């Protein structure tokens, strides 16, 4: 898989179809990754990221490809997760990199955390404002197979409590086969979001509805005001449409999932599973970028839902700024 740095004629055509007269002039990206390669154990990072460094600054420059004309204003970044690495050191590298950016490039960072981590370093970093929330991940649960871990398995209560104390973001990538349609995940999300109402929960990838049929599970979470979803790496309109209908346009946030956005491919619903298709693996160079597919899907969902410019502006920026405004409020 290859991280694209240029658009071909098809990409340009599809990007124009996705954005012309639709995408606002200023965008906040709520979901993007940085990569500090020295911190990753050999073989632990996806091949396309091996030996790659993605700083907050290089990420911002790369986004010009799909958010042209300097649309990207605010961004929320976090390290790309891998099973074996020095989380506190990578988090510190990210905070330091962010601190070098000019104020014209407002960028916030989430710390990657494991259930067994000492909460003290992130507590200190949040108190000083260097860390704006937590990014747990299923990889960090100490089991060989982490595909079926529950929310509490990978995001135990100390993380909710810490984010609640600071009004910080808790970015969750749901696991288990049915993701947000899973009753155990639903019960835990309802209970913990009610207990920690100041914890700003972002359910990544439309609550991981890469199989859009799972998005119907969002209905059980409609009355949890501190839960929202991001659109990152979702390339089908159906799940986004459910999120818009159930959560409303004030709780759906644009995210790119860079560097995933810059791979050629698409993720499609098949039966009760998802299928990731990549141009190289499928010998299908006519595919476009995942980030462009995701924008096409978002436009389709917004159009089907009958949203106007104000709601579209909310999704691309205002909702994220409202989330950021809760920090130390």
Positions touching Zn ion (CB under 5 A) are 257
Provide the minimum distance between the beta carbon of 232 and Zn ion in the complex, in angstroms, as a whole number: 6
- Which structure tokens are listed for 267? 């993720």
CB closer to Zn ion out of 71 and 205 = 205
Provide the minimum distance between the beta carbon of 21 and Zn ion in the complex, in angstroms, as a whole number: 28
Provide the minimum distance between the beta carbon of 83 and Zn ion in the complex, in angstroms, as a whole number: 15
CB closer to Zn ion out of 238 and 257 = 257
Question: For residue 131, what are the contacts with CB-CB under 8 A and spacing of at least 6?
Answer: 91, 95, 109, 110, 111, 122, 125, 168
Instruction: Confirm if 292 and 66 have CB atoms less than 8 A apart.
Output: yes
179 torsion bin: left (phi>0), alpha (psi -120 to 50), beta (else): left
Provide the total of helices (H) and of strands (E) in the chain, helices listed first.
12, 11
Q: What is the CA radius of gyration of the chain?
A: 18
Provide the minimum distance between the beta carbon of 255 and Zn ion in the complex, in angstroms, as a whole number: 8
- Which structure tokens are listed for 74? 């605010």
CB closer to Zn ion out of 186 and 256 = 256
Provide the minimum distance between the beta carbon of 204 and Zn ion in the complex, in angstroms, as a whole number: 6
Residue nearest to Zn ion (CB): 257
CB closer to Zn ion out of 171 and 246 = 171
Provide the minimum distance between the beta carbon of 32 and Zn ion in the complex, in angstroms, as a whole number: 8
Q: Is residue 177 helix, strand or coil?
A: coil
CB closer to Zn ion out of 171 and 307 = 171
Instruction: Confirm if 135 and 32 have CB atoms less than 8 A apart.
Output: no
- DSSP 8-state assignment for residue 318: I
CB closer to Zn ion out of 4 and 257 = 257
Q: For residue 132, what are the CA distances in angstroms to 55, 141, 153, 283, 297? A: 17, 22, 22, 41, 29
């Amino acid at each position: 898989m290859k991280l694209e740095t240029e658009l071909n004629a098809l990409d340009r055509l599809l990007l124009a179809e996705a954005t012309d007269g639709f995408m606002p002039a200023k965008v906040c990206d709520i979901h993007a990754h940085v990569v500090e390669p020295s911190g990753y154990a050999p073989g632990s990072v996806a091949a396309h990221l091996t030996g790659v460094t993605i700083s907050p600054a290089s990420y911002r420059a790369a986004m010009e490809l799909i958010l042209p004309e300097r649309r990207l204003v605010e961004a929320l970044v976090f390290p790309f997760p891998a099973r074996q690495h020095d989380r506190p050191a990578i988090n510190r590298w990210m905070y330091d990199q962010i601190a070098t950016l000019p104020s014209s490039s407002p960028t916030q960072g989430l710390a990657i955390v494991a259930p067994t981590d000492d909460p003290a370093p992130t507590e200190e970093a949040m108190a000083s404002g260097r860390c704006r929330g937590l990014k747990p991940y299923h990889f960090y649960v100490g089991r060989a197979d982490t595909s079926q871990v529950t929310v509490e398995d990978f995001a135990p209560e100390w993380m909710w409590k810490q984010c609640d104390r600071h009004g910080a973001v808790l970015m969750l990538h749901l696991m288990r086969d049915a993701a947000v349609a899973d009753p155990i995940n639903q019960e835990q999300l309802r209970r913990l979001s009610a207990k920690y109402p100041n914890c700003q929960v972002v359910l990544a990838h439309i609550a991981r509805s890469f199989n859009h049929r799972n998005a119907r599970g969002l209905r059980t979470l409609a009355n949890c005001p501190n839960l929202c979803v991001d659109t990152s790496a979702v390339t089908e309109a159906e799940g986004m449409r459910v999120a818009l209908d159930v959560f409303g346009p004030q709780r759906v946030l644009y995210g790119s999932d860079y560097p995933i956005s810059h791979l050629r491919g698409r993720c499609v619903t098949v039966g009760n599973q998802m299928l990731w298709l990549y141009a190289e693996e499928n010998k299908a160079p006519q595919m476009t970028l995942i980030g462009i597919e995701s924008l096409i899907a978002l436009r389709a969902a917004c159009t089907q839902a009958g949203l106007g410019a104000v709601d579209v502006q909310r999704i691309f920026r205002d909702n994220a700024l409202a989330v950021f405004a809760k920090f130390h409020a």
